[in-house]
Amino acid sequence: MRFEIDVNIRATPDVVWQFITDARAMGGCVAGLESLDVVEPGRFLATLIVPVGQVRLPCAAEGAWLDRTAPWQAALQVRVAVGPPTAIQGAEHQIVAHNRMHLVNGTAGVTRMQWRMDVHLWGNYAGIPPHLLHPIIQKQSLSFFTCLKHQIENQAIPAKPHPNV
């Protein structure tokens, strides 16, 4: 499944980049986030509760930046499995999201963020019909990007150079 979201943010590319590549800042916009641990620069583990209809599933997630070219583009892989934090290690049943972000410097201090996410289902999840998952992922994504835009535009985040890690 592919998801594409374009967002215009009233901030410079450096400010948007700083927020997006800070797992703790970005984590504040993840619905259901229970905990977040930055394991090493560019890699994090999280536990979250994902609502699926009337059921709330405890999940483990692992995120890793695969490529970062400050402040213009980045690739992030996120793996999610139902269960405790240890569930993600070696899990054959998981959801993997490959994310690619591009920032475009617009006019009047506006940055256009183009986000593409390809979601792949593995193991038992592969049997879930996409039409059941699509609205859940779409809703969570829209909530995330609405929060992200609001957070970036409404807080003073000083721009500073970022290493390519």
| Tens-digit pLDDT profile for residues 35-71 | 999 999 999 999 999 877 788 889 999 999 999 999 9
- Residues 6+ positions from 153 with CB-CB distance below 8 Å: 9, 10, 11
Distance between CA atoms of residues 51 and 24, nearest Å? 22
pLDDT class of 92 with cuts at 50, 70, 90: confident
**Is the CB of residue 119 less than 8 Å from the CB of residue 140?**
no
User: Could you give the C-alpha distances from 85 to 104, 142, 145, 160, in angstroms and in order?
Assistant: 36, 25, 25, 33
Residue 104 clears pLDDT 50, i.e. is over it: yes
Each residue of 52-67: b (16+ CB within 10 Å) or e? eeeeeeebbbbbebee
Across the range 20-30, mean pLDDT stands at 94
Three-class SS string for 42-86? CEEEEEEEEEECCEEEEEEEEEEEEEEECCCEEEEEEEEEECCHH
pLDDT digits (tens, 9 = 90+) for 65-87: 999 999 999 999 999 998 887 77
Delineate the domains of the chain, giving CATH numbers in brackets. Answer: 2-153 (3.30.530.20)
**Is the CB of residue 71 less than 8 Å from the CB of residue 17?**
yes
SS3 155: coil
Give percent of the chain above pLDDT 90. 69
Residue 105 clears pLDDT 80, i.e. is over it: yes
Angle at CA 15, nearest 5°, toward 103 and 45? Answer: 85
Could you tell me the pTM of the whole model?
Answer: 0.86
